[in-house]
Amino acid sequence: MALVVAALLAVTGGSLVAAGLAGQEPDLGAAPTASSQRTIAPEPALTVAPLEDDVAAPEAEPQPTAVPALDADADVRLRVPSVGIDLPVHPLEPDGGAINPPTMTDAYWIDPYGRPGAGASAPDNTVYIAAHSWSRGEAAFDPLLDPDFQGGAVGPGDRVEVETPSGTAEYAVTDVRRYGKGELPDADEVWAVHPGRLVLITCFQREDGGRSTENLVVTAELAGDAAR
């Protein structure tokens, strides 16, 4: 979501952990499993949280271990026209307590949360899509990041499309904010059961090129009757 890559998630003790997506950077935050998500309303604020002033200086950035691209077809695509994102989205399940997107240039929807779909196949939970970002090369969610390292490159009202076999779900961004990796596990507004919502997660890259201490979280809601 600077750390080499962007959104390693893990499931530990009943919680999904968003981790730092570099091979040697194991954990980045935690969140409840699909079966224990809190049913609460998300926070409405459209803000970008500031950096912590007391963050320790990051250590040297490790090299990513993910391969450039997955040699497999995907029946789901993610598009964010305002920043030029057009990515295949593959399913990804926790493996040994961790979710680490195996490629640098693809996105992954996290199973068993909301499965991307539209119309009668619309999910009954939030759809979470994670991908790497990287300050020293090309990665799938790099365009989500402000090149000035101030926040996200998308903002409220920007359109997000998720194309699926059952149709295309169209969302509008409602919230862009940064979470410390220790804060994300307890961010109820991120992990609430919320049909009609899409959450994109990546590591937030640091201007000094050091290890990421935060995640960037982009939240979007279905835009009216937005399945076609």
User: Residue 33: its pLDDT value, please?
Assistant: 60
pLDDT of residue 93: 83
Q: Which residue has the higher pLDDT, 90 or 136?
A: 90
Task: Please state the length of the chain.
Answer: 228
Query: Is there a domain that residue 63 lies in?
Result: no
Counting the structural domains of the chain, the total is 1
Residue 60 within a domain: no
Scan for tokens 């960037």, then name that residue: 216
CATH number at residue 213: 2.40.260.10
Q: What is the mean pLDDT of the chain?
A: 73
51 token code pair: 């950096």
Q: What is the per-residue pLDDT across 174-219, written as a single tens digit (0 to 9) for each?
A: 999 998 877 877 889 998 999 999 999 998 877 666 677 788 999 9
Outline where the chain has alpha helix (H).
188-191
Percentage of the chain modeled with pLDDT above 90 = 41
**Burial grade of 138 (CB within 10 A; 0-12, 13-18, 19 or more):** exposed
Q: Is the pLDDT of residue 27 over 90?
A: no
Does 219 fall in a domain?
A: yes
Residue 97 domain flag: yes
Residue 113 maps to a domain? yes
Has residue 19 been placed in a domain?
A: yes
Residues in Cβ contact with 120 at an 8 Å cutoff, skipping those fewer than 6 apart: 166
| Distance, CA of 127 to CA of 181 (rounded, Å) | 20
In a domain, 91, yes or no: yes
Burial of 65 by CB count in 10 Å (0-12 exposed, 13-18 middle, 19+ buried)? Answer: middle
Strand residues in the chain grouped as ranges (E): 8-12, 15-19, 31-32, 76-80, 85-92, 98-99, 107-110, 127-130, 159-164, 167-180, 197-204, 214-227
Q: Say what the pLDDT of residue 136 is.
A: 75
pLDDT at position 212, please?
74
pLDDT score of 76 more than 60: yes
Residue 176: domain span: 8-34+68-227
Q: State residue 201's pLDDT score.
A: 92
pLDDT of 29: 38
- pLDDT tens by residue, 130-175: 998 887 778 899 999 988 878 899 999 999 999 999 999 999 999 9
Has residue 202 been placed in a domain?
yes
Report helix, strand or coil for 116. coil
- Is the pLDDT score of 84 beyond 90? yes
> How much is the average pLDDT of 84-89?
97
